[in-house]
Amino acid sequence: MRKLKKLISIALLTAFAMSFSALAANEVDSAAQSTSALMEQAATSDGAGSEAISYELYQRFTDDPAAFLSELASQPDDVRQVVVQFIVWENNYAENTLPDILNGLSNLSADQLDAAEELTDYWTAYQAQNPETEIPEDTSVTLPGFDVQTICSLIDQNLSVSDPYSDEAFCISIAEAYEADPTAFGEMISDLDNSDIQRLGEQIAYAVENNLVEVTLPAAQNGLEASALSVLQQAITQADPPQRTNVGTEKDTSFPIPLDLLICVLLGIFLIAAVWRLAKRSRSR
């Protein structure tokens, strides 16, 4: 009997060790990627994946701001704009403001200074959209209601996705941008096809109807005729968005337990069963 208990204990320890190893491997996978690779991944991420990448990028930024600025400066425009947005969003929950962090740096190259300026510009614009956050008194810049380049980049990326509601973070972003300055938003999307503009209207309605964002949509403006803003406002009014059932994409919600962890647990159970059967046979003899 003692021998049986010892065998079962060994089997359990083996199973748990395999499970913890699988979890550790998942963590190492995320942390092992280069900063440049994470930035490239940020430009195509959505849902829970965006949150994880955003958090990891901000940790790397605070660990070594100068090195991070160098990596940021080397990225193409579309990637850089998304990364800048992620860093600013994460900094909103930090004790030190983004300008405080950047002002502590010295001997930056021209490329690093350009990247730092892009971060500062977006940070200042973001504060202007949030009344609860005070803008520094020495700021004298007239800021737009939203960052046009960033929103345009997000729209271009999202139009390639078949399901318009899979990226809820995008639906929230455009709803907030539209509320901030509907006239500027209409001008920004004026080059899009009507079908794409209608899709944006449906996505804005989705965010509002499902309470993903706290915004008060502007009243429809009369006399716009067939302008992009008119098409957008009609699409919002006529939209019948689906009720929110899942968070993020299918990739985020396909299975709640990592596959490698599940395999380890099943192997552990099989090992315990095998040991029990062998012990039972030895006792029957």
Q: pLDDT tens, 149-200?
A: 888 888 999 999 999 999 998 999 899 888 888 888 888 999 999 999 999 9
Q: Is 248 left (phi over 0), alpha (psi -120 to 50) or beta?
A: left
Q: What one-letter code names the amino acid at 99?
A: P
Task: Report the alpha-carbon distance of residue 175 to residue 154 in Å, rounded.
Answer: 13
CA distance 101 to 78: 24
Predicted local confidence at residue 254, as pLDDT:
45
- Specify the pTM: 0.40
User: Token pair for residue 275?
Assistant: 């040991």
Quick one: how far is CA 200 from the chain centroid?
19
Low-confidence ranges of the chain (pLDDT < 50): 4, 7, 12, 15-17, 19-30, 135-144, 247-255
The confidence score (pLDDT) of residue 94 equals: 83
DSSP 109: -
CB 126 within 8 A of CB 84: no
Q: Give the distance from CA 218 to its chain's centroid.
A: 27
Q: Is 277 exposed, middle or buried (0-12, 13-18, 19+ CB in 10 A)?
A: exposed
| Single-letter residue type at 4 | L
